[in-house]
Amino acid sequence: MALKVGKILIVDDNAGIRQALKILLPMYFEAVEAIPSPATLVVTLERFRPDVVLLDMNFNTSINTGNEGLYWAGEIKKMAPEVEVVLFTAYADIQLAVEGMKRGAFDFIVKPWDNEKLAATLTAARDKARKALGRDFSAKGPGTGTGRPEQGEGAMFWGSSGSMAAIRKTVDKIAPTDATVLITGENGTGKDVLAREIHARSLRSGKPMVAVDAGAITETLFESELFGHVKGAFTDAHTDHVGKFEQADGGTLFLDEIGNIPLHLQAKLLRAIQSRSVVRVGGSQAIPVDIRLICATNMDLEQLVREGRFREDLYYRINTVHIALPPLRERREDIVPLAERFVTQFAAKYHRPLSGLDDSARLALEGGRWSGNIRELQNVIEKAVILSEAKHLSARDIQTEPSGSALRGTGNAGPLKSVSEAEEERLVREAVERCNGNISAAAKALGISRPTLYAKMKKFGL
């Protein structure tokens, strides 16, 4: 007999579906409530306090987000992070449901549903929510997850290739020092992961590592973000603001995408790095900062120096130790072990009873182009884990997604790697148009972050 415990809220505009679920779900939950639209969602959450929300993906509302389900799933997690959200979707919206899981939803259910699978998914979500609140109980049954501990997401994977072995030796030598490090490599090779590894193995590991996407900071806010500002320095400066340099004091400052900083701002950055001090915008006092600096870029800085687009003195200042991460296609012996690691990680995260890859999956992975490198491999495995219902992933589950190579004429090095500004503008425009204005999809196609794409769109007047 099913264990009746917990509360579930159904949000669906179909009266027939609401009625059917109000008959079925009391077999598993002690309290079931259903509302026809998100219009009363906020007040219902506060009053009813559910453990689980079963949320339809589409409503006839005035919210202009592209998809109401993703919007309201995000709002629920903001208002009540402990509540688990299960998305209710038609088959055509599965891709959106997968995106919803990446944003924090527990799982998704496809209409028309199977009663047993629906009950298993919803009770697993309930169990997780109640365990997080300290209301755990022994509710055994299908859909309660794999029970495996999640591997450390973002932990460094060295693999067995010769190139990574050489890099590991270098990191062993330089991590305990305060040497400034420049990490280069194509998009998706793990530059940020390596930066965190160096910090974690440094003598500053007990202090913060502050990461900055340098290419995403608008020119008007560059100094304020990095160096801080004093109250009254400009119209919206209502209080003093501590910049990233000061936030990293005693620890590590990681400047990602440093090659995208405009030339006229590079001088200000160089001054702060050389003096190890900052002057807040609107202030006059030099504030000393004790940082270890790590920078990263997917661009060829030496070429930019030759073209006059990157200061030579700044280049040498940040290039005390240079580590060039190889693309995944040059370390093919690491593809399958990396994929197996991601399977374990995402099987635990998404409560899938997967135990690895079969031979056909391994062959498909080894034969892939992986122009998006480790990030592309991770995304492909994550999607496969979410959608698979088998015990092992097979070749038919491995669907490579568009990466930098999806844009014609860009090659395998990533579309925005070392291109002229005119070519960069063309590629950005083409990506945004091809993705019908979907910023996430366009950023993924270009191999850059959403904030970086926003900055480039502003730069090119898009």
Higher pLDDT, residue 148 or 322: 322
Q: Rounded to whole angstroms, how far apart are CA atoms 304 and 230?
A: 34
Helical residues (DSSP H) of 256-333, grouped into ranges:
263-275, 301-306, 312-318
Backbone Cα Rg of the chain: 25
User: Taking a C-beta distance cutoff of 8 angstroms, is the pair 299, 347 a contact?
Assistant: no
Given a cut of 70, whether residue 415 has pLDDT beyond it is no
Average pLDDT of the residues in 290-315: 95
Could you name the CATH architecture of 162-324?
Answer: 3-Layer(aba) Sandwich (3.40)
Average pLDDT of the residues in 438-455: 73
User: Taking a C-beta distance cutoff of 8 angstroms, is the pair 217, 452 a contact?
Assistant: no
Q: Rounded to whole angstroms, how far apart are CA atoms 310 and 263?
A: 6
User: Taking a C-beta distance cutoff of 8 angstroms, is the pair 380, 399 a contact?
Assistant: yes
- The 3-state DSSP class for residue 241 equals strand
The pLDDT, as a whole number, for residue 298 is: 93
The pLDDT, as a whole number, for residue 388 is: 86
Q: How confident is the model at residue 408 (pLDDT cuts 50, 70, 90)?
A: very low
In this structure, which topology does domain 405-459 adopt according to CATH? Arc Repressor Mutant, subunit A (1.10.10)
pTM of the model: 0.61
Residue type, 321: V
Q: Where in the chain is the domain with CATH 3.40.50.2300?
A: 7-132
pLDDT in tens, 255-298: 999 999 999 999 999 999 999 999 999 988 999 999 999 999 99
User: Taking a C-beta distance cutoff of 8 angstroms, is the pair 151, 344 a contact?
Assistant: yes
Tell me the range of 47-61, 282-296, 437-451 where mean pLDDT is highest. 282-296
> For the ranges 55-69, 130-144, 233-247, 426-440, which has the lowest average pLDDT?
130-144
Q: Where in the chain is the domain with CATH 1.10.10?
A: 405-459
Q: In this structure, how many other beta carbons lie within 10 angstroms of the beta carbon of residue 204?
A: 21
Q: Rounded to whole angstroms, how far apart are CA atoms 8 and 30?
A: 9
Residues 6+ apart with CB under 8 A from 413: 186, 327, 404
Q: How confident is the model at residue 2 (pLDDT cuts 50, 70, 90)?
A: low
Which tokens sit at 272? Answer: 């702060």
Strand partners, 63: none
Q: In whole numbers, what is the pLDDT of the chain averaged over residues?
A: 83
Pairing of strands 277-279, 286-288: antiparallel
Given a cut of 90, whether residue 414 has pLDDT beyond it is no
pLDDT in tens, 336-358: 999 999 998 888 888 888 888 98
Average pLDDT of the residues in 185-191: 93
User: Taking a C-beta distance cutoff of 8 angstroms, is the pair 183, 296 a contact?
Assistant: yes
Burial of 70 (0-12, 13-18, 19+ CB in 10 A): buried
Helical residues (DSSP H) of 352-409, grouped into ranges:
359-366, 373-387
Strand partners, 255: 212, 295
CATH number for the domain running over 7-132: 3.40.50.2300
Given this structure, which CATH class describes domain 331-401? mainly alpha
**CA distance to 93, 290, 314, per residue, from 200 (Å):** 41, 17, 26
pLDDT in tens, 108-153: 888 888 898 899 899 989 988 887 765 444 333 333 333 323 344 5
Burial of 274 (0-12, 13-18, 19+ CB in 10 A): exposed
Q: Where in the chain is the domain with CATH 1.10.8.60?
A: 331-401
